[in-house]
A and B are shown apart, each in its own frame.
Chain A
Amino acid sequence: MLILKNIHKFYGTNEVLKGVSLEVKQGELVTFVGPSGCGKTTLLRLIGGFTDISSGDIILDGQRINDLPPNLRDTRICFQNYALFPHMTVAENVGYGLKINKWPKHKIAARVHELLDMVELQAFGDRMIDKLSGGQQQRVAFARALSLEPKVLLLDEPLSNLDANLRLVMREEIRKLQERLHITTVFVTHDQFEAMAISDRLVVMKDGLIEQVGSPIEIYERPANEFIAAFVGYVNFMDGRIESIDPVTRNTAVSTPYGTFEITLEQDDIRTGDDVLMVIRPESVSLSIDCKQGGKNILCGSLKTYMYAGSLAKCTVMIGEKKMIIDQYNPRDAQHFKLADKVEVEIPRSVHLLKKK
């Protein structure tokens, strides 16, 4: 288990990590995600030992490893640019750590063979690095990092140099291998969708602080604040006030400038009379042509744009002065919507609420 305790990091007077605490369980894949400059890469380098920690503790399986240099830590890193040694072959790259750690030759050969098998590069052992494609290089880097069976694997934006399709393939492969080997992994990315797809838990960071830790579903469906809600996908915010809460069914009435909505409240910390922000995801709203008025949670609006893109259509709807972005999946009626003017917007009961401070 990897434990980070109240970690601070200063570069000169610039504080890039302002007290970060986290526990990563054995075999878990945790992703640091956040906008650039949030401190996620610094945190990863601190765990790897490449950067000195200013204060706080890093504890790996009960041992405090703050002062251990990278070569004595049981963590292995995969850099964004792979950092494969260009003057060595694939096999020499994968076997480098074994050689450094004085493994006997035949054992190195066997282990390298096994690792190359694992990443499906059996035939490439004798190739030089620059004769490999980006995806293959990624696999070599991965195999090299795993060669010494580290306790923690650190992945620094490992997919950002691959093209879009390959990214999807590689992230699946990495996840499969990680689960099979049951290796504790810390993943860094600025791509929130990648983060959600690959992780057991997400750590959303901003300005050197952790904003929220949770499973992808928790982060997406129940973000802790406006920043997180907007960071993990598009969101329509709507101001409102709690009119009533039914203590048994948790049915809650929220009044807004556009009408009163009925939702099912999930949080405990919201009381009647609170000012709230409704977090309405574009795909959670259903859209239909014409507006008959009436019915619960239904709003009338005018359809401003309708961009058909195959699997979904991106729509902009004006509710009075308020602009809403709506994603309509499986848009079978595109022909009709294209010509539509008035539309009906249904706000789901599952809308998440943020309490205003």
Chain B
Amino acid sequence: MATAELSLKLQSSSGSRVKDFLNANMVNILAAFLFLLLAFFLLYPIFAVLIKSFRGPSGFTLEFYQNFFSKNYYYQSLLNTLLLGVINTVVCLVIGFCLAYMTTRGPWILRKPLKIISLVPLIAPPYLFALSLIILFGRNGIITRALDLHWELYGFGGVVISQTLAFIPLAYMMIESTLMSLNPNLEESAYDMGASEATILRTITIPLLAPGLLKAALLIFVMTIAEFGNAAILGGRTPFLAPDTYTMITGESDFNMGSVLSVVLIAPCILIFFIHNYLLEGKKFTTIGGKPVASEPRKITPLIKIPFVIITTAAAGAIFICFAVVVAASFYKILGVTDRFVLSNYLDFTSNQAIYNSIRVSFVAAVIGAVIGVLLSYVIVRGKFFGRSFIEMVSLSGFALPGTVLGIGYLLAFSAPPFRLTGGIMILALNCVFRFLAVGVEAGISKLHQIHIEIEEASADLGASFMTTFFRIVLPIMFPAFIAGFIYTFMTAIVSLSAVVFLVSPGFQLAAVKIFDAAVYGEIGIASATTIKLILIVMLCMAALNFISKKTKIGSSMSQKGVS
């Protein structure tokens, strides 16, 4: 019986070579196809920016770079951006560390509230803080008027404050996760050997955290210098690279200089991306097995407790106030000036139209992004072809790229034939897909690492072809990753501003751009109301994600049980 089947199989295989070839090489074919997509929608636009920065009317030239480095204005812009990055990174790290320390080592009653408030900014677009600072400290700001102050919010200081508040959650999350992975027994051992709280921090906690802190610092630095919204809204006359790129393109239509600014901005980002991913890879102090218990609160000495409590409550308080004033401002024409409760901000037609457009764009982006993300992660984890790690690097690089660069890149690459895409929903959606591909891919990779390859081999062993295995086995298991990729992409796409601001056409406004315009033109009420709507949408997405991750935990444990 068995031999009969075997010979039957052998016959059929010699009968259809094409099918066998496809079967054996499907992963490679899929990889090639995905690589073409990445090359076209991610590498080509970046390349276009690079070319544009070197090509004048008469071919190759360094004129634009000379221009950049000779003009004080541009030079200042670079310096401001780097300085902003450094200050921001340091402040965010300090606050993030204090927060993480208190929520993992501090007294129980402080842990939960501090954690919640530290993470709240995640549900808001980062430019919310620019908005709240205008409401509080702007020329007509509540505090400005109440205290009759004469200061200038618009400038370096304003940008630093809003950026810091915006990036606290990122710093907090990264530091908290390294602190959580630090075996509490290590600090307890030092404590046991006679070390005081400060000595433990100095000799054990911080040295062990150093690689994690460095990683967090690099990431925050990149995100800060690339962030567009806060600097564009609050920058005033102070030049920063990201908003300057925008004015260069939209104001002066100088694509060459715009490209040069982009290249200057992208250089540190790429450098840091490499340091982050390759030099620091595996630079982590591994601790030896055993199950660490949750850190019990220690009797923290006042010397450390008092500054930590002051810093954390100040940060948490500031975040809370920023949210509160945006909510308040959304119900007034101009808060503090015309104190009449109105709903008109929420009913504003252009705002709602923009929200509707944003949902459409983000939905399309999320569908495409989730599909490509799942396929890419499969190819990256299971593929055995040359260039696999290159594909991985490219697909994860979108996050490290400043949005403005990809915005200009898409303008340059897809606004003229043969690849004309501008003016529609597709260019916006595709831009979001490839900028935010990393989340979908990472969700897929982590899911795939949970599945033993034996499951697929078992399927193949039972006679299934690659396609059958992929559709009947891999996709069902990957479904949670698909959904997670979908929601993540949707959430990030709907609040993202820096790239789409270049790509929206006059008749097709997006919510993020609408908020930006309204904030710049002083329509604070409408800007606030639109922000609140976005926050509500993001909160819905988060709830959905939470629900799914709970569901899939059951799902994954079931699949594991199925194996054993």
Identify the A interface with B (CB < 8 A).
48-51, 69-72, 75-77, 79-87, 96-97, 100-101, 129-130, 134, 137, 144, 147-148, 160-161
* B199 interface contact, C-beta 8 A: yes
Chain B positions within 8 Å of A101 at CB level: 194
Q: In the bound complex, how far is the Cα of B186 from the Cα of A144, in angstroms?
A: 13
Q: What residue in chain B is nearest A87 (Cβ atoms)?
A: B207
Q: A97 touches which one: B194, B207, B208, B288 (CB < 8 A)?
A: B194
**Cβ distance B326 to chain A, nearest Cβ, rounded Å:** 37
Chain B positions within 8 Å of A82 at CB level: 288
Q: Are A96 and B287 in contact (CB under 8 A)?
A: no
- Check A83/B188 contact, CB under 8 A, given A50-B296, A97-B193, A148-B194: yes
Q: In the bound complex, how far is the Cα of B134 from the Cα of A124, in angstroms?
A: 62
| B103-124 contact mask (Cβ, 8 Å, vs A): 1 or 0 | 0000000000000000000000
Chain B positions within 8 Å of A81 at CB level: 183, 185, 287-290, 292
Q: Are A69 and B204 in contact (CB under 8 A)?
A: no
| B272-301 contact mask (Cβ, 8 Å, vs A): 1 or 0 | 000000000000011111101000101100
Chain B positions within 8 Å of A49 at CB level: 192
* 13 A–B contacts, CB within 8 A, in A order: A50-B296, A71-B191, A71-B192, A76-B192, A77-B188, A81-B185, A82-B288, A83-B186, A84-B288, A96-B203, A144-B189, A144-B193, A161-B290
* B196 interface contact, C-beta 8 A: yes
Q: Are B193 and A71 in contact (CB under 8 A)?
A: yes
Q: Are A79 and B296 in contact (CB under 8 A)?
A: no
Identify the B interface with A (CB < 8 A).
183, 185-186, 188-196, 199, 203-204, 207-208, 285-290, 292, 296, 298-299
Count chain A CB atoms within 10 A of each CB in B194, B285, B299 and give the residue with the most.
Answer: B194
Q: Are A83 and B185 in contact (CB under 8 A)?
A: yes
Q: Are A100 and B285 in contact (CB under 8 A)?
A: no
Q: Are A69 and B299 in contact (CB under 8 A)?
A: yes
**Cβ distance B507 to chain A, nearest Cβ, rounded Å:** 59
Chain B positions within 8 Å of A79 at CB level: 185, 188-189, 290
Chain A positions within 8 Å of B188 at CB level: 50, 70, 77, 79, 83
Q: Are A86 and B208 in contact (CB under 8 A)?
A: yes
By secondary structure, the A interface counts as: loop
Q: Are A137 and B192 in contact (CB under 8 A)?
A: no
Q: Are B189 and A77 in contact (CB under 8 A)?
A: yes
Chain A positions within 8 Å of B289 at CB level: 81, 161
Q: In the bound complex, how far is the Cα of B195 from the Cα of A61, in angstroms?
A: 23
**Cβ distance B10 to chain A, nearest Cβ, rounded Å:** 46
Chain B positions within 8 Å of A161 at CB level: 288-290
Chain A positions within 8 Å of B203 at CB level: 96, 100
Q: Are A83 and B189 in contact (CB under 8 A)?
A: yes
Q: What residue in chain B is nearest A160 (Cβ atoms)?
A: B290
Chain B positions within 8 Å of A80 at CB level: 185, 290
**Cβ distance A98 to chain B, nearest Cβ, rounded Å:** 9
Q: A79-B185, A130-B286 provided; 6 other pairs, C-beta below 8 A? A: A48-B192, A70-B188, A83-B186, A101-B194, A129-B288, A137-B288
Q: What residue in chain B is nearest A92 (Cβ atoms)?
A: B203
**Cβ distance A81 to chain B, nearest Cβ, rounded Å:** 3
Q: Are A83 and B194 in contact (CB under 8 A)?
A: no
- Check A87/B194 contact, CB under 8 A, given A79-B185, A81-B292: no
Q: In the bound complex, how far is the Cα of B563 from the Cα of A262, in angstroms?
A: 54
Chain B positions within 8 Å of A86 at CB level: 208, 285-287
Q: In the bound complex, how far is the Cα of B192 from the Cα of A69, in angstroms?
A: 8
- Check A96/B285 contact, CB under 8 A, given A50-B296, A69-B299, A80-B290: no
Q: In the bound complex, how far is the Cα of B193 from the Cα of A49, in angstroms?
A: 12
Q: In the bound complex, how far is the Cα of B191 from the Cα of A50, in angstroms?
A: 9
**Cβ distance A220 to chain B, nearest Cβ, rounded Å:** 29
Chain A positions within 8 Å of B204 at CB level: 85
Chain B positions within 8 Å of A144 at CB level: 189, 193
Q: In the bound complex, how far is the Cα of B288 from the Cα of A134, in angstroms?
A: 9
**Cβ distance B219 to chain A, nearest Cβ, rounded Å:** 22
Q: What residue in chain B is nearest A154 (Cβ atoms)?
A: B192
Q: In the bound complex, how far is the Cα of B195 from the Cα of A77, in angstroms?
A: 14
Q: B192 touches which one: A51, A70, A84, A130 (CB < 8 A)?
A: A70
Q: In the bound complex, how far is the Cα of B196 from the Cα of A97, in angstroms?
A: 11
Q: In the bound complex, how far is the Cα of B183 from the Cα of A161, in angstroms?
A: 15
Q: In the bound complex, how far is the Cα of B294 from the Cα of A50, in angstroms?
A: 12
